[in-house]
Structure 1
Amino acid sequence: MNDIAPNNQTRGLRKTRSGEVISHKMDKTIVVKTVTRVPHPRFGKIIKQVKKFHVHDENNEAKIGDRVSIMETRPMSRLKHWRLVEVIKH
């Protein structure tokens, strides 16, 4: 048996998120805030969970307040594991 995968095998699915840009002060890096609504484990009330992601923005195209789509990728630095896919709304 051969344990090596063939060359035509596709990559696994990568996680995607959409969120709002809250900082673009770094070069080629933006900070994106995502809001997830989940039920409280004990009481069932819907609560908002906010998470910030450091995202690689190769062309510095996203600005503060933009709605963006991001995708998980290989680690680019200590904090950056996501990359910008597209700017949805300016």
Structure 2
Amino acid sequence: MPKRILQGTVVSDKNDKTVVVSVERRFAHPMFQKTVRRSKKYKAHDAENKFKVGDTVSIQECAPISKDKRWTVMTD
């Protein structure tokens, strides 16, 4: 089964080897058909502390690394 890949923006890089990525999704409201934006934050593993706040990154699903981390930042 392929691993999910999401794209988002780094909103925090304060933790060691971890970045927080905000991923936005858009969908049509079931009744009103207006486009709605929802965002969710994911903690992702960044082994080299390479990514900074504001960077656009892709994250990939992985085995659990810690209590909250289940994603890794894909290297460009």
Normalising by structure 1, report the TM-score. Answer: 0.81
Matches within 5 A, 1:72-83: 72-83=61-72
**Segments of 4+ in structure 1 off by > 6 A?**
none
Aligned-residue RMSD, C-alpha = 0.9
Matches within 5 A, 1:2-81: 12-81=1-70
Residue-by-residue CA offset, 1:10-69 (whole Å, 9 max, x unaligned): xx2000001000000000000000111111122111010101000000110000000001
Normalising by structure 2, report the TM-score. Answer: 0.95
Identity of aligned residues (%): 39
1-structure distance, mates of 2:61, 2:30:
27
1-structure distance, mates of 2:15, 2:46:
10
Contact 1:70 1:82 in 2 (8 A): yes
Contact 1:70 1:85 in 2 (8 A): yes
Within the alignment, does 1:86 sit opposite 2:75 as a pair?
yes
Question: Unaligned 5+ residue runs, structure 2?
Answer: none
Deviates more, 1:64-73 or 1:39-48: 39-48
Q: Which has the larger Rg?
A: 1
In the alignment of these two chains, the number of paired residues is 76
Question: Unaligned 5+ residue runs, structure 1?
Answer: 1-11
RCO comparison, higher one (Cα < 8 Å, 6+): 2
